[in-house]
Amino acid sequence: MGTAEPQVATTSTTTDAQSPVTDGFHLVIDALKLNGIDTIFGLPGIPITDFTRMAQAAGMRVISFRHEQSAGNAAAIAGFMTQKPGICLTVSAPGFLNGLTALANATTNCFPMILVSGSSEREIVDLQQGDYEEMDQLAVAKPLCKAAFRVLHAEDIGVGIARAIRAAVSGRPGGVYLDLPAKLFAQTMDAQAGRKSLVKVVDPAPRQIPAQDAVQRALELLKSAKRPLIVLGKGAAYAQADADLRALVEKTGIPYLPMSMAKGLLPDTHAQCAAAARSYVLAEADVVMLVGARLNWLLSHGKGKTWGGKDPKAWGGQKFIQIDISAQEMDSNVGIDAPLVGDIGSCVCALLAGLGSNWAKPPADWLRAVAERKDKNLAKMAEALAKDPTPMNFHSALNVVRDIIKVNPDAILVNEGANALDFTRSIVDMYKPRKRLDVGTWGVMGIGMGFSVAAAVVSGLPVIAIEGDSAFGFSGMEVETICRYHLPVCVVIFNNNGVYRGTDVNPSGGPDVAPTVFVKGARYDKLMEAFGGVGVHATTPAELRKAMEQAICSRKPTLINAVIDETAGTESGRITSLNPTSGKRNKSNS
């Protein structure tokens, strides 16, 4: 393929200020660098191969993946961690499409990223004359992202990149598509004019200050509560308003519930954390303040039995305060009594200022009732964690992970799977903000290795990826990427021989195994060894603990194949009820 690459102007480099001409390649690199973007997650090929080389030559970190979806997931989570748009770079049509799932997932999760894709000749694509990798990528991307732009002329690159950056991070963050046709890269222009055409984005995500009357309304409602609750979402984690948020929670004394990626905003061991009494507080609270958390399916749409409603669609009678940057989020599922629209940092700051010095703590009987439920459930959990069955189950394996995170609170935990996800979320306490990265709003499989690579690249800290064996398969080839860049990633595969469990049988009695079952006793550890990493086969908690400790200490790419009882999981983990049931009775489901 290399011989078919477009010819490029080689007289210019990004560092050569004297060069009379520049070109599209260099203008894109210069525009990104001007805006503080120093890393690209991508996969080379026509028409962007030379671009990746030039970006690397210009001092950018270019992390090359084995599949664009992983590069896209890496860009998305880098955006979440840094509040700067993560850049994913792909080739045209198929590469673009491979990246698109990550772009759509980023948009759904409000992660700022820019999918930059090379594309084919506009004239040929638009006449559908059958170009190499022909596709109207802009049209395909548009409904799946927050904004989509195409740049046709070199002199517009500065504005194009600026618009993409601002769209990704301002207001509610999300995915942005930037279409760069092959011809654009080779276009030349006067170097000085080129430099002048670049735009350094000023204040890309301007603060959005909430209105004072909205702040007062929220405070009054909160003050009137007998059984208040705060729910922290990943929007609150994204905001990086950690100290103020903690002050707000502690000054009000209100029990709080962290959503999955908000775990660790305050340590999960905090006295006010009500995670272990989740079903009790959701059903019983009379005023709920949502901070960067949406009332989507993850919170049962704010109604039904979870919220104390009489039937699955009934409102439970509680009042809601919602802090969100998007006014449109309000009333999405139930009426919001006190909408507080603004960026989370500014909203939390305004609430703190309005609390005054004599804010009354919630009624003692509410706090006592929450504490009782919590203690009871934590005692039950401790009992389950203390068991040491053979083979290991999720609890005995996660007891180890829990200890490891406790002594390594800076390590980043990536997590996907069904049971492997749900048990990890409830068992493994997090102690610091933005340390838990997982499947997010969609519950999407395939984020594991992309998130792990980005987390390690962005932070330099050790990463622990707890992966269902099915979940791992979606991005497993990226263990080569992890080895290639010598990243301190320890992948732990909870191997229960399949999707949810490994015990299903083919109802027809035919020779194929059931659709949820994998090769029994697979040795995923060998996959890591193939690329020079450390592979460990662990069948006991002691072996798992030793291998994880060594991985953290050595920072060597490590994959631990943790053998889990194949009967231990449940269908769909904690979300079994979302499976439709067949109305038709037949042999297999009667």
Ligand X SMILES: Cc1ncc(C[n+]2csc(CCOP(=O)(O)OP(=O)(O)O)c2C)c(N)n1
Q: CA-to-CA distance for 253 and 271, rounded, in angstroms?
A: 10
What CA–CA distances, in Å, run from 174 to 531, 535, 540, 575? 34, 37, 42, 26
Point out which span in 201-209, 415-423, 453-461, 579-587 binds ligand X (CB under 6 A): 415-423
Does 446 contact ligand X by CB under 6 A? yes
Q: CA-to-CA distance for 157 and 325, rounded, in angstroms?
A: 29
Does 473 contact Mg ion by CB under 5 A? no
DSSP H or E segment with residue 453: helix 448-459
Question: Is residue 288 helix, strand or coil?
Answer: strand
Does 451 contact ligand X by CB under 6 A? no
Shortest separation between residue 234's beta carbon and ligand X, angstroms = 18
Nearest by Cα to 27 from 121, 161, 125: 161
Cβ closest to ligand X, residue 264 vs residue 473: 473
Residues making up the chain, counted from first to last: 590
Q: CA-to-CA distance for 136 and 21, rounded, in angstroms?
A: 30
Does 569 contact ligand X by CB under 6 A? yes
Does 470 contact ligand X by CB under 6 A? yes
Q: CA-to-CA distance for 523 and 530, rounded, in angstroms?
A: 12
Does 76 contact ligand X by CB under 6 A? no
Number of residues that bind ligand X (CB under 6 A): 18
Shortest separation between residue 63's beta carbon and ligand X, angstroms = 22
Point out which span in 142-150, 178-186, 444-452, 467-475 binds Mg ion (CB under 5 A): 467-475
Q: CA-to-CA distance for 140 and 149, rounded, in angstroms?
A: 12
Does 494 contact ligand X by CB under 6 A? yes
- The residue type at 212: Q
Q: Which of 445, 466, 538, 551 binds ligand X (CB under 6 A)?
A: 445
Does 499 contact ligand X by CB under 6 A? yes
- The residue type at 33: K
Does 496 contact ligand X by CB under 6 A? yes
- 453 contacts 423 by C-beta, under 8 angstroms: no
CA 367 centroid distance within chain: 32
The dihedral over CA atoms of 368, 371, 376, 378, expressed in degrees to the nearest 10, equals: -170
Does 469 contact ligand X by CB under 6 A? yes
Does 468 contact ligand X by CB under 6 A? yes
Does 500 contact ligand X by CB under 6 A? yes
Point out which span in 9-17, 86-94, 352-360, 460-468 binds Mg ion (CB under 5 A): 460-468
244: left (phi > 0), else alpha (psi -120 to 50), else beta? alpha
Does 391 contact ligand X by CB under 6 A? no
Does 496 contact Mg ion by CB under 5 A? yes
Cβ closest to ligand X, residue 309 vs residue 468: 468
Q: Which does 443 bind (CB under 5 to 8 A by kind): Mg ion, ligand X, none?
A: ligand X
Does 444 contact ligand X by CB under 6 A? yes
Does 469 contact Mg ion by CB under 5 A? yes
Q: Which of 418, 454, 465, 517 binds ligand X (CB under 6 A)?
A: 418
Query: Tokens representing 513?
Result: 């195994």
Q: CA-to-CA distance for 562 and 401, rounded, in angstroms?
A: 12
Whose CB is nearest to ligand X?
Answer: 468
Pairing of the two strands 86-90 and 39-42? parallel
Nearest by Cα to 490 from 457, 449, 458, 435: 449
Nearest by Cα to 414 from 165, 96, 81: 81
User: For residue 225, how many other CB atoms are within 10 A of its CB?
Assistant: 21
Q: CA-to-CA distance for 105 and 108, rounded, in angstroms?
A: 5
Cβ closest to ligand X, residue 29 vs residue 479: 479
Query: Tokens representing 197?
Result: 């055409």
Does 256 contact ligand X by CB under 6 A? no
DSSP H or E segment with residue 23: strand 21-23
Q: Which does 48 bind (CB under 5 to 8 A by kind): ligand X, Mg ion, none?
A: none
Cβ closest to ligand X, residue 420 vs residue 560: 420
Does 492 contact ligand X by CB under 6 A? no
Does 137 contact Mg ion by CB under 5 A? no
Point out which span in 67-75, 289-297, 488-496, 506-514 binds Mg ion (CB under 5 A): 488-496
Shortest separation between residue 499's beta carbon and ligand X, angstroms = 4
Does 99 contact ligand X by CB under 6 A? no
Shortest separation between residue 15's beta carbon and ligand X, angstroms = 42
Point out which span in 83-91, 192-200, 237-245, 469-477 binds Mg ion (CB under 5 A): 469-477
168 φ, ψ to 5°?
-70, -40
Q: Which of 258, 468, 535, 541 binds Mg ion (CB under 5 A)?
A: 468
Site residues (vs Mg ion, CB under 5 A): 468-470, 496
Site residues (vs ligand X, CB under 6 A): 417-420, 443-446, 468-471, 494, 496, 499-500, 569, 573
